[in-house]
Amino acid sequence: MSKKIASARINTESSELLKELNNSLPFDRELYREDIRGSRAHARMLMKQGIISPEDFQLIDEGLQKVLEEIESGVFGLDGDDEDIHMAVERRLTELVGDAGKRLHTARSRNDQVAVDFRMYVLRHNLSIAELLKDLIASFLQVAKEHSDTLLPGMTHLQHAQPTNFGYHMMAYASMFKRDYERFVDSAERNNLSPLGCAALAGTPHPVDRRQTAEELGFREPTLNCLDTVSDRDFALEILFNIATLMMHISRLSEELILWSTSEFGFVKLSDKHATGSSIMPQKKNPDIPELLRGKTGRAYGNLMSLLTVMKGLPLAYNKDTQEDKEGVFDSVRTAELSLRVLREMIDEMTVNVEAMEAACMKGHLTATDLADWLVKEKGLPFRDAYHIVGNVVNRAEELGKDLSELSAEELAQVDERIGEAEGLLDNRLSMNARRSEGGTATERTLEQIEKMEKWLSSVSS
């Protein structure tokens, strides 16, 4: 029986059940690129520091490139009995290059190895998600530009509240996704520190140069304290939180798309590409895609809660519990990237029903606040008195089966003689355009928001 590569003291073959519980290769194989990259940087540093010979480095470096090729071409399937990706790569390397391969693990532990691999994976995906967010924001800007004059009933409590425009609504989402973008970039920046060279927990007596490997791997500098570094998973928690928040935003938008595409609203029509049929009701087109995006938010929250819970009781430094950090992150990253791609396609290809949005503005007396504001500004009434008068006007409009904006001067004056002249001022578009305080819905303010966001987008895209 061959001795286990990572054990000097255990002589019996592991039980099958232990392997099933313990082996992480079935999922951490996802890290093979990072593992090989980290090992090549480590080997080069060992050579430069005189810890291994140039000949051994040459063999290791070429051997690792060969292992990478074998993995990518499927020759080395990463489906064997190895404990994890680190052991799998080292085993194959040693098969290929012999004794030199056994020198690679000098001045290194799997504790700093997994920390560097996982950090590189997380940093890479912070940035790929940020790129997808920029594309999505560009799509919102496009729709917002086309619809900065398209009236939309603005709601609170899902009840008609005040007239807004659809472009303004799109800019609200663009603003959320901009903050998401900033969170991913910020997290990548903060965590851009190299764990390599920390070894098991306390550093190493070998004369390693952590700055060299940090630089080769694209990190800003090495981490400060090795004990912290091998047990820290904040960087993973941050991406999980950022994805959970991103999915929450995607989910809120999905909810609106689902509502808007019902026959009750009819504000948008999703492309047939993004709708599915019912197996029994032949007339149906279901918004499965936004429903799935909304549903997938659950797993993103779960993955965050799960890792927070794994970490909460761990004494310093490395504990095997930490191996549970990966699957949730891989899942959240896959979910976020796919969701962003699908969402962008859906936004680009949806049809906006301008007539339905504008017609909906004729329900719900959206300009009631405007009438109260007018009484305050033009007639000097205290706001609370104006508020009560407008309440009576709305009751009258309901009796007449009309919207407030449709009442004639006479009908208004019947309720209160001071408001006859307000006729014509209660138009929805006029009302929307009157809200021109900074950040408000007026078309000119919406266009200003679009312009600022475009400037920002081009500043982060250059």
Residues 6+ apart with CB under 8 A from 135: 340, 344
Q: Is 249 a catalytic residue?
A: no
Stretch of 109-117, 280-288, 341-349, 366-374 lying at the interface with ligand ARG (CB under 6 A): 109-117
Least distance CB 93 / ligand ARG (angstroms): 17
**31: exposed, middle or buried (C-beta count within 10 Å: 0-12, 13-18, 19+)?**
buried
Stretch of 51-59, 319-327, 391-399, 411-419 lying at the interface with ligand ARG (CB under 6 A): 319-327
**193: exposed, middle or buried (C-beta count within 10 Å: 0-12, 13-18, 19+)?**
middle
C-beta of residue 411 within 8 angstroms of C-beta of residue 396: yes
- HSE-up (13 A, CA, CB side) for residue 146: 12
Binding ligand ARG by CB under 6 A: which of 40, 103, 110, 435? 110
Least distance CB 112 / ligand ARG (angstroms): 9
Q: C-alpha distances in angstroms, 99 versus 93, 110, 266, 331?
A: 10, 19, 70, 37
Binding mask 12-51 vs ligand ARG (x if CB under 6 A, - otherwise)?
------------x---x-----------------------
Stretch of 48-56, 110-118, 249-257, 421-429 lying at the interface with ligand ARG (CB under 6 A): 110-118
Least distance CB 59 / ligand ARG (angstroms): 25
C-beta of residue 303 within 8 angstroms of C-beta of residue 332: yes
CA angle, residues 424, 403, 413, in degrees to nearest 5: 55
Taken in order 245, 246, 248, 252, the sign of the CA dihedral is positive
Stretch of 61-69, 211-219, 318-326, 408-416 lying at the interface with ligand ARG (CB under 6 A): 318-326
Least distance CB 3 / ligand ARG (angstroms): 17
Least distance CB 366 / ligand ARG (angstroms): 57
Determine which helix (DSSP H) or strand (DSSP E) holds 20, and give its type and residue range. helix 16-22
> Which residues within the stretch 48-87 sit at the binding site for ligand ARG (CB under 6 A)?
84
Determine which helix (DSSP H) or strand (DSSP E) holds 268, and give its type and residue range. strand 268-269
Catalytic residue, candidates 157, 263, 458, 459: 157
Calpha distance 384→363 (Å, rounded):
24
Least distance CB 86 / ligand ARG (angstroms): 6
| Count, residues near ligand ARG per rule CB under 6 A | 10
Residues 6+ apart with CB under 8 A from 165: 147, 148, 149, 150, 151, 152, 432, 441, 443, 446
Stretch of 128-136, 256-264, 289-297, 316-324 lying at the interface with ligand ARG (CB under 6 A): 316-324
Least distance CB 320 / ligand ARG (angstroms): 6
Q: Which of 165, 151, 395 is nearest to 404 (CA)?
A: 395
Smaller CB distance to ligand ARG: residue 67 or 347? Answer: 67
Least distance CB 53 / ligand ARG (angstroms): 27
Q: C-alpha distances in angstroms, 383 versus 389, 390, 393, 394, 437?
A: 10, 10, 15, 16, 19
Binding ligand ARG by CB under 6 A: which of 114, 152, 174, 357? 114
Smaller CB distance to ligand ARG: residue 31 or 357? Answer: 31
Catalytic residue, candidates 53, 278, 388, 408: 278
Smaller CB distance to ligand ARG: residue 26 or 298? Answer: 26
Smaller CB distance to ligand ARG: residue 107 or 415? Answer: 107
Calpha distance 358→114 (Å, rounded):
56
Is residue 431 involved in binding ligand ARG (CB under 6 A)?
no
Q: Which of 177, 150, 145, 174 is nearest to 164 (CA)?
A: 150
Calpha distance 123→114 (Å, rounded):
14
Q: Is 125 a catalytic residue?
A: no
Least distance CB 52 / ligand ARG (angstroms): 22
Is residue 318 involved in binding ligand ARG (CB under 6 A)?
yes
Binding ligand ARG by CB under 6 A: which of 126, 162, 194, 322? 322
Token pair of 350 as six digits: 């949806």
Q: Helices (DSSP H) in 261-366: which residue ranges?
A: 288-311, 326-349, 354-360
Instruction: State the helix-helix crossing angle for 166-190 and 443-461, rounded to 10 degrees.
Output: 30
Residues serving a catalytic function are 157, 278
Residues that bind ligand ARG (CB under 6 A): 24, 28, 84, 110-111, 114, 318, 320, 322-323
